[in-house]
Structure 1
Amino acid sequence: MESKLSGGRIDLPGFFADLVRCETRLYNALNDRLREQHGIVTSQFEFLRFLRDHPGARVADLAAEFAIGVGATSKGIDRLEKQGWAARQPNPSDRRSSLLALTDDGSRLVEAAEKTFADGLAALIGDTLDGSSGAAAIRAIAELRAVLECDRIGTPTG
């Protein structure tokens, strides 16, 4: 594979391609593991985990976290509700929105899937991110994400 550094200059299009292709391959691999072992896909797992970690979240909160549209997020929650893993509850401070909660089945599912997810990540990227270069990569990606989020870059408008 060609280096993304050439004469001290970073090949930004090459870096972008690597970043996106890595994300896609990791997402798909985790998707396969979660589907096989728990009957869910990665996006469902991420929604369930967010709801577990943020009780009383709204659809808009999930949409903001995952940088996706509110409509797509609401459809995702509809699917979780249909499976009996999440429920909408009235929002006492804003009747136009609902508060989201995991059901007992949803809580059990996300706890079981958490190990599959963590083990999958460790198997797929654990060795690659060991050491100082891994720590530097983690810091760089976290910093890039923070800047993009702070400046609201890539936030869906609908």
Structure 2
Amino acid sequence: MATKTASDGLVRLFDDLVRCETRLYNAIGDALRAEHGIATSQYEFLRYFRDHPGSRIADVAATFAAGIGAISKGVDRLEARGWVARHPNPADGRSSLVSLTASGAVLVADAENTFRERLAELTSPALAASDVEAIGPVLAAVRATLERDRVGLPVG
């Protein structure tokens, strides 16, 4: 049976994707922290709950490919600051549903402006709109395949 192996180009693509993601995540986090007092992960959670009201912790964990415990602790921190609220899940007494509070909605709306501005500043010198239109669907297809096949989920 023949086995596949990654080409040098694919290895370089992997390295570039990972290093770009890390640098963008960190730089955007610096801006979000300076402007809004939140980390990138907190912004992402708030945005998720805005776009998916009444989500379970397990839904968030699956989306972010993270452990349920880590997501739950992150939500605990958001809840302690009054940005989200947990409500009993009528369909499953073992879980709760999470939604944004009014202050969380204001925060995520303000932070989104910072996020979008900083992302554009960081990427526009090297990435044109036509590049996004070309690359975006390819990365979305790779992501969809990984998610469909449940690749990269934490164990346990």
Same fold (TM over 0.5): yes
Query: Partner amino acid for 2:102?
Result: D
Unaligned runs of 5+ in 2: 1-6
Structure 1 equivalent of residue 38 of structure 2: 40
* Cα shift readout 1:38-71 (whole Å, capped 9, x = no counterpart): 0001000000000011110010010011110000
> 1:101: how far off?
1.0
- Residue 38 of structure 2 aligns to a residue whose secondary structure is coil
* Cα shift readout 1:63-116 (whole Å, capped 9, x = no counterpart): 011110000000000110111111111111111000001111111100100100
Measured in 2, the distance between the counterparts of 1:22 and 1:95 equals 41
Check 1:103–1:16 CA distance in 2 against 1; reply closer, same or farther (3 A cut). same
* Cα shift readout 1:113-135 (whole Å, capped 9, x = no counterpart): 01000111111113433154442
Return the TM-score normalized by structure 1.
0.90
- Residue 51 of structure 1 aligns to a residue whose secondary structure is helix
2:67 corresponds to which of 36, 57, 69: 69
- Residue 92 of structure 1 aligns to a residue whose secondary structure is coil
Measured in 2, the distance between the counterparts of 1:42 and 1:61 equals 19
Query: Partner amino acid for 2:112?
Result: E
Please show how residues 9-158 of structure 1 align to structure 2 within 5 Å. Answer: 11-158=9-156
> 1:13: how far off?
1.7
- Residue 11 of structure 1 aligns to a residue whose secondary structure is helix
Q: Is the 8 A contact 1:128 1:134 kept in 2?
A: no
Unaligned runs of 5+ in 1: 1-8
- % of aligned pairs identical? 57
Measured in 2, the distance between the counterparts of 1:12 and 1:153 equals 18
